[in-house]
């Protein structure tokens, strides 16, 4: 596919690097501030530098508040039967339709792990998208990690609360975990090594196991042992479950407010 990327900030740039590493598509970046682009990517600074009707996909990676002012200048570059794809958080399909009209639109919610090719992205396609268009965009997003198609924009909001905002929660958990290790006397670098290795190894062990998470937890927890003592403190009166429930609910509500 021939793809126009409007905006190339942190998320757009991260996804672009993953896409170009696969070498399956042709990319043009429209962003006056873009620099250090991957080899083979064409760069333009303004919409008038682009011919009409040459791109299969116009991918919107600018801030939501910029869309109404910027996107109309670039809409001419999309082929008839092409697809608008937005990774702009909080920009609903309805708001995009107000700008580009009756068009095939796909909304994607990526997360920061796309930086390392391990992103988890939600995808919602409006009813003007054909099955082929949806498959093509899903395959494109899969190149940055994992793409999860959803049936409604409300599910995108739910996914935003879990995976879109999720890296922020995990970074804070890691920060707290490292600080607790330091409080036991480990220096910062050693604490990071212990915590990061424990977390990444445990996630991979869970990924490869057929056991439930509860079964895995129980398999490393001896009665009256050290793990049991730690878990009793961590899970006191259901506080951990309640904290995560409130965290995701707050993010979900805010996602709906931003549309």
User: What would the pLDDT profile of 3-29 be if each residue is shown by its tens digit?
Assistant: 999 999 999 999 999 999 998 899 999
The pTM score is 0.89
What is the CATH number that goes with domain 166-258? 1.10.3730.10
Q: What is the mean pLDDT of residues 217-227?
A: 95
**Homologous superfamily of domain range 2-150:** NAD(P)-binding Rossmann-like Domain (3.40.50.720)
Write out the residue limits of the CATH 1.10.3730.10 domain(s) in the chain: 166-258
**What is the reported pLDDT for 76?**
95
Q: What is the pLDDT of residues 98-150, one digit of tens each?
A: 999 999 999 999 999 999 999 999 999 999 999 999 999 999 999 999 999 99
- What is the rounded average pLDDT for all residues in the chain? 95
* Rounded Cα gap, residues 180 and 1, in angstroms: 49
Nearest residue to 22 (alpha-carbon basis) of 38, 42, 7: 38
Residues of the chain with CATH 3.40.50.720: 2-150
Cα dihedral sign, 147-152-155-156: positive
Confidence of residue 65 (pLDDT cuts 50, 70, 90): very high
Rg of the Cα atoms in the chain: 22
Residue 258: pLDDT band (50, 70, 90) is confident
What single DSSP character describes residue 161?
I
Sheet of 42-44: strand order equals 42-44, 26-30, 2-6, 55-60, 78-86, 104-109, 119-125, 145-149
Instruction: Note the pLDDT of residue 33.
Output: 87
Interior CA angle at 114 toward 22 and 160, to 5°?
135
pLDDT at 35 over 90: no
Whether the pLDDT of residue 259 is over 80: the answer is no
The pLDDT of residue 90 is 85
Question: What is the arithmetic mean of pLDDT over 225-236?
Answer: 95
Give every CB contact of residue 37 below 8 A, 6+ residues apart in sequence: 8, 16, 29, 43
């Amino acid at each position: 596919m021939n793809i126009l990327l409007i905006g190339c900030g942190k998320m757009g740039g991260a996804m672009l690097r993953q896409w170009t590493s696969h070498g399956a598509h042709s990319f043009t970046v429209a962003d006056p501030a873009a620099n250090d682009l991957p080899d083979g990517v064409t760069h333009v600074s303004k919409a008038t530098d682009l011919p009409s009707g040459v791109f299969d996909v116009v991918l919107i990676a600018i801030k939501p508040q910029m869309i109404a002012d910027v996107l109309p200048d670039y809409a001419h570059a999309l082929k008839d039967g092409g697809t608008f794809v937005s990774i702009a958080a909080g920009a609903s399909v309805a708001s995009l339709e107000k700008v580009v009209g009756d068009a095939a639109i796909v909304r994607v919610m990526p997360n920061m792990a796309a930086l390392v090719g391990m992103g988890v992205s939600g995808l919602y396609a409006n009813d003007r998208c054909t099955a082929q268009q949806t498959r093509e965009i899903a395959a494109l997003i899969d190149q940055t990690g994992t793409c999860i198609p959803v049936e409604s924009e409300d599910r995108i909001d739910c996914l935003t609360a879990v995976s879109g905002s999720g890296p922020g929660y995990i970074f804070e958990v890691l920060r707290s975990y490292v600080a607790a290790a330091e409080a036991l006397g480990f220096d910062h670098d050693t604490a990071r090594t212990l915590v990061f290795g424990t977390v990444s190894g445990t996630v991979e062990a869970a990924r490869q196991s057929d056991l439930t998470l509860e079964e895995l937890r129980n398999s490393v927890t001896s009665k009256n042992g050290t793990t049991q003592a730690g878990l009793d403190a961590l899970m006191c009166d259901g506080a951990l479950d309640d904290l995560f429930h409130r965290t995701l609910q707050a993010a979900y509500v805010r996602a709906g407010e931003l549309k």
